[in-house]
Structure 1
Amino acid sequence: MSEDKSTSTHFGYKTVEQEKKADLVADVFHSVAAKYDIMNDVMSFGVHRLWKRLTIETAGARPGMKVLDLAGGTGDLTAKFSQLVGDKGEVVLADINDSMLKVGRAKLRDRGIVSNVKYVQANAEALPFPDNHFDIITIAFGLRNVTDKDAALRSMRRVLKPGGKLLVLEFSKPQHEIMRKVYDTYSFKIIPKMGQLITQDADSYEYLAESIRVHPDQETLKQMMIDAGLEQVEYTNMTDGVVALHKGYKF
């Protein structure tokens, strides 16, 4: 009998009921929140900072703009956007996971970033913001954890202003066979061991590696963004497509 796609979804390589995925993902990020930044640096050898820098540059944030850093976690993008939009602008750091939000809020407040940042616990599939509200939305390494990605993309488009820009930074599919083999070995053999060593949680990092493999590839995600009503959609591969930055506009 074929799987009932209306009630099931991926959780890594496992198939689970849709309504259970959010709780399962939440458990992963509750577990890793405290060491999330350290693991990002270790797993990517610091290269995640370059990926995020390109995202910031592509966003083109200017003074006075409203920015939504969705699935913003510990606030790396929010910190930079806060500087760029200034006192007359606004940055909303939104995440479905309260543990990640708490870590992000504490980190940013320790850095003195308080005046133009708001914190909102929110589900990307049903964003609690008005229509036509944000100039820029970014979602970095978060879309693959969303249960209904199509609903999330439509929700993001809804809250963008006309002329607004959505940027999706996400792990994707390496373009060359040698890179794919190296990346698979690293993801499934090395990263869980790092997770065990640093966070005492290998299982969560096994899930994160699996979630990357079942995430839509570059062209599939591009079409999903178009189907959600975004226009001029294009993407840039980084590190041979290990990561891709997708960009689309609302007109």
Structure 2
Amino acid sequence: MTNENTTHFGFKQVPKEEKVALVRDVFDSVANSYDLMNDLMSLGIHRIWKRVAVQLSNVRSGESVLDLAGGTGDLTRLFEKRVGKQGSVVLADINSEMLRTGRNRLIDHGLIGNVHYAQVNAECLPFKDNTFDCVCIGFGLRNVTDKDAALRSMYRVLKPGGRVIVLEFSHPIDPVTEKVYDFYSFNLLPKIGAIVAKDENSYRYLAESIRMHPKQDDLKRMMEAAGLERCDYYNMTQGIVAVHRGYKL
């Protein structure tokens, strides 16, 4: 059981003040192999998940987007295509190695001018109130120590009419998928991490962090408690991943 001074790091209980550093170590380790591992882990399906999330964001030309936990920039690239040169996208991540990898990758793809970068903590975003038309966090909320604080911070920096998009590994909606997914996550995924990324422990943590993430309806209630309205979610791949959406009205 957790108490007010501890939180989960995978299946372990750790002091809250230590989690940020522990998560940073994980992503420092996997930054260079992150994209390859995403393709291997999901058989490339993560690209479809991300495109669905961006489509559900309803982002339009000229709008401003905050891509939280943006990592190597996949979602930023998709958002940049939608906002065009009149809009802007901020690629933000708490991890400097992931942010550096994403920045280099996007520059290599010629994305300059309307893409900006910020190293931030999602729990206390350093932006003014009512700044962004859309705030998206893709596969990052489960790593945040205080998810409620992060959702409140995301709500604060949204413009009225803006929307929060949470793309995250979630919980399978049928027992057969759950059993297969558990076997894959705890038996195969760490071994793939050991071979490709030379880091079995980090990928074991990632599997554990997914299991500790709130279920779909619980996360929906958390978003509503943060002030977001018209909250809903869309299961993909039998609930292995879900896209949550909420509005600031």
TM-score by length of 1: 0.98
After the TM superposition, which residues 85-234 of structure 1 pair with which residues of structure 2 at under 5 Å, given as runs? 85-234=83-232
After the TM superposition, which residues 41-52 of structure 1 pair with which residues of structure 2 at under 5 Å, given as runs? 41-52=39-50
Measured after TM superposition, the shift of residue 201 of structure 1 is 0.1
In the alignment, the residues of structure 1 paired with residue 84 and residue 217 of structure 2 have an alpha-carbon distance, to the nearest angstrom, of: 35
Contact 2:2 2:13 in 1 (8 A): no
Measured after TM superposition, the shift of residue 62 of structure 1 is 1.3
In the alignment, the residues of structure 2 paired with residue 137 and residue 42 of structure 1 have an alpha-carbon distance, to the nearest angstrom, of: 27
Deviations 1:166-192 (A, max 9, x none): 000001110110100000000000000
Determine what percentage of the aligned residue pairs are the same residue.
59
Post-superposition, which runs of at least 4 consecutive aligned residues in structure 1 deviate over 4 A?
A: none
Point out where structure 1 has 5 or more consecutive residues left out of the alignment.
Answer: none
Measured after TM superposition, the shift of residue 220 of structure 1 is 0.3
Give 2:29's aligned residue: 31
In the alignment, the residues of structure 2 paired with residue 89 and residue 238 of structure 1 have an alpha-carbon distance, to the nearest angstrom, of: 29
After the TM superposition, which residues 73-88 of structure 1 pair with which residues of structure 2 at under 5 Å, given as runs? 73-88=71-86
In the alignment, the residues of structure 1 paired with residue 103 and residue 31 of structure 2 have an alpha-carbon distance, to the nearest angstrom, of: 12
Give 1:7's aligned residue: 5
DSSP-derived class of the 1:19 partner:
helix
In the alignment, the residues of structure 1 paired with residue 82 and residue 216 of structure 2 have an alpha-carbon distance, to the nearest angstrom, of: 29
In the alignment, the residues of structure 1 paired with residue 110 and residue 185 of structure 2 have an alpha-carbon distance, to the nearest angstrom, of: 36
Give 2:248's aligned residue: 250
Structure 2 residue identity aligned to 1:196 = A
Measured after TM superposition, the shift of residue 48 of structure 1 is 0.3
DSSP-derived class of the 1:240 partner:
coil
Deviations 1:20-79 (A, max 9, x none): 000000000000000000000000000000100101111121111000000000000101
Structure 2 residue identity aligned to 1:53 = R
DSSP-derived class of the 2:242 partner:
strand
DSSP-derived class of the 1:169 partner:
strand
Tell me the C-alpha RMSD between the 2 structures. 0.7
Q: 1:65 aligns with which of 63, 68, 74?
A: 63
Residues 1:38 and 1:4: Cα distance change in structure 2 (over 3 Å):
closer
In the alignment, the residues of structure 1 paired with residue 115 and residue 164 of structure 2 have an alpha-carbon distance, to the nearest angstrom, of: 19
Contact 2:2 2:8 in 1 (8 A): no
Measured after TM superposition, the shift of residue 122 of structure 1 is 0.2
In the alignment, the residues of structure 2 paired with residue 54 and residue 62 of structure 1 have an alpha-carbon distance, to the nearest angstrom, of: 15
Measured after TM superposition, the shift of residue 91 of structure 1 is 0.3
Structure 2 residue identity aligned to 1:6 = E
Q: Is the deviation greater in 55-64 or in 105-114?
A: 55-64
DSSP-derived class of the 1:138 partner:
strand
TM-score by length of 2: 0.99
Measured after TM superposition, the shift of residue 196 of structure 1 is 0.5
Q: 1:16 aligns with which of 5, 8, 14?
A: 14
In the alignment, the residues of structure 1 paired with residue 190 and residue 2 of structure 2 have an alpha-carbon distance, to the nearest angstrom, of: 31
Measured after TM superposition, the shift of residue 115 of structure 1 is 1.4
